[in-house]
Amino acid sequence: MTHNTPLSPRPLSHLSEAARQRVLTANSLRAHGIPVSEADARCRPGGPWQLLLPGVYLLHPGPPTSDERLHAALLYAGGECAPIPAQQGAASRTGGPATDVRPCTPPSPPSPPPPQTPQPPQAMITGLAALTLHGFDGAPSLRALDRIDVLVPWTRRLRSTGGVRVVRGQSLPDAEEITGVPVAPVARALADTVALLPDAGVVRRLLVESVRAGHCEAGAVVGELIRARLLGRPHVRLAVDALVAESRALAEGMLYEMVFRHRLPCPCWNVDLRLPGGPYLGGVDAFWPEQSVAVELDTRTPRPHLEADARWSEYARKREALEVLGITVVHLTPAKLRDSLGQQAAIVRTALMTAVEREPAEYVVVTPR
């Protein structure tokens, strides 16, 4: 037997139990002892198999399930398939007479294998299919999608074909595993979706749902849209405005819930502060005049650098001006309110209770916004 002798075919009936095993690449079939010529013969009209994508075979004649389509797309794009069990065979035997002689010294225990660093996936599901897997109500079902988008490194030489659209990225994010499938994070999947969607209404609904349903933060979405250079499109900018407004409204709702659920003193909501007869100091989301404590929600999102510099410098100027006057400013973000509402309430309560230990603040005029 030489190295060129093909392996004897293994029965493939056991591969019909799981969706991943019903979709195999040509290399995997070759490991089972089935050459490409035989696999192609089984894919002829009326045959038991199908050539689902170039080099990817479906081992049954019916239409592929959604799970099979996902795994076929990943295999085509370079993902790894499930390992094939080693073929069973007779154990190898060493020649020479048997002996009962034991060595005088016991053999040293084998050294443990070095830890293997998990390799990042070479491909992951993105676009609308990823949003569906993340649970977006506004995304269509996998069966309704004509194509499944797969994110691959920029250097991969791969073409979109059949039901797979190849999306290239200079840097791939850390994939999230959903039902055993590597999926792009929500913000990246949204950016890849928006890049191919001309419908302003659909783009707006998907962006708003991302924060309304708690899938991700508005800042993460806007950051990905900036990196993809999509904010220059008018319908995307309008959708981002709606996204920011939705994020702001949700954060204000969580702030109200924090005050009432944890029984904090009722503040003045959404007010402007100014010195008597003097300059305007800025607006805050909640203010306790007797304790001189203000809460400000930070719902800023990344913007192109010129606009971002102006917005951030204005925010820093306002906070510094209030603190110079003796007003304690508590900085809250939507993520903090969502993840640790009780902890943020304790921070505000501490600021209110320690007001008597601080120097009296300057008198300011409070007016509704």
Q: Which sequence spans correspond to the domains of the chain?
A: 13-64, 253-368
Q: Which residues contact 86 (CB under 8 A, 6 or more apart)?
A: none
Closest to 226 measured CA to CA, from 245, 213, 243: 243
Which of these ranges, 41-55, 116-130, 235-249, has the smallest mean pLDDT? Answer: 116-130
Q: Would you say residue 115 has pLDDT above 90?
A: no
H/E stretch holding 272 reads strand 268-274
Q: Which residues contact 21 (CB under 8 A, 6 or more apart)?
A: 14, 15, 59, 82
Q: Which residues contact 153 (CB under 8 A, 6 or more apart)?
A: 122, 168, 169, 172
In the sheet where 148-153 sits, what is the strand order?
Answer: 164-169, 148-153, 124-126, 181-183, 176-178
Other CB atoms within 10 Å distance of the CB of residue 355: 17
DSSP states along 202-236: HHHHHHHHHHHTTSS-HHHHHHHHHHTT-TTSHHH
Assigned fold of 253-368: Endonuclease; Chain A (3.40.960)
pLDDT band of residue 171 (cuts 50, 70, 90) is confident
Q: What is the mean pLDDT of residues 192-216?
A: 95
Number of residues in the chain: 369
Q: State which amino acid sits at residue 297.
A: L
Helix-strand-coil percent breakdown of the chain, rounded to 5? 40, 15, 45
Q: What pLDDT, on a 0 to 100 scale, did the predictor assign at position 245?
A: 93
Closest to 301 measured CA to CA, from 224, 369, 196, 203: 224
Q: Would you say residue 109 has pLDDT above 70?
A: no
Q: Highest mean pLDDT: which of 16-30, 82-96, 241-255, 293-307?
A: 241-255
Assess contact for 365 and 289: CB atoms under 8 A.
Answer: no
Q: What pLDDT, on a 0 to 100 scale, did the predictor assign at position 314?
A: 72
| Whole-angstrom distance, CA of residue 231 vs CA of residue 207 | 13
Phi (first) and psi of residue 314, to 5 degrees: -65, -40
| Whole-angstrom distance, CA of residue 140 vs CA of residue 126 | 14
| Whole-angstrom distance, CA of residue 244 vs CA of residue 259 | 23
Using alpha carbons only, what angle is made at residue 180 by residues 167 and 225, rounded to the nearest 5 degrees? 35
Phi (first) and psi of residue 282, to 5 degrees: 135, 170
Cα–Cα separations (whole angstroms), residue 215 to 127, 187, 206, 207: 15, 9, 11, 10
Assess contact for 26 and 37: CB atoms under 8 A.
Answer: no
Q: What is the mean pLDDT of residues 62-75?
A: 94
The token pair that represents 98 in the structure block: 């048997």
Q: What's the burial of 307, exposed, middle or buried (CB within 10 Å: 0-12/13-18/19+)?
A: exposed
Residue 13 gets which letter from DSSP?
Answer: G
Q: Return the exposure string of 1-30: e unless at least 16 CB atoms fall within 10 Å of the residue's CB, then b.
A: eeeeeeeeebebeebeeebbbbbbbbebbb
Q: Write down the mean pLDDT value for the chain.
A: 84
| Whole-angstrom distance, CA of residue 170 vs CA of residue 187 | 16
What tens digit of pLDDT does each residue of 21-54 get? 789 999 999 998 999 999 999 999 999 999 999 9
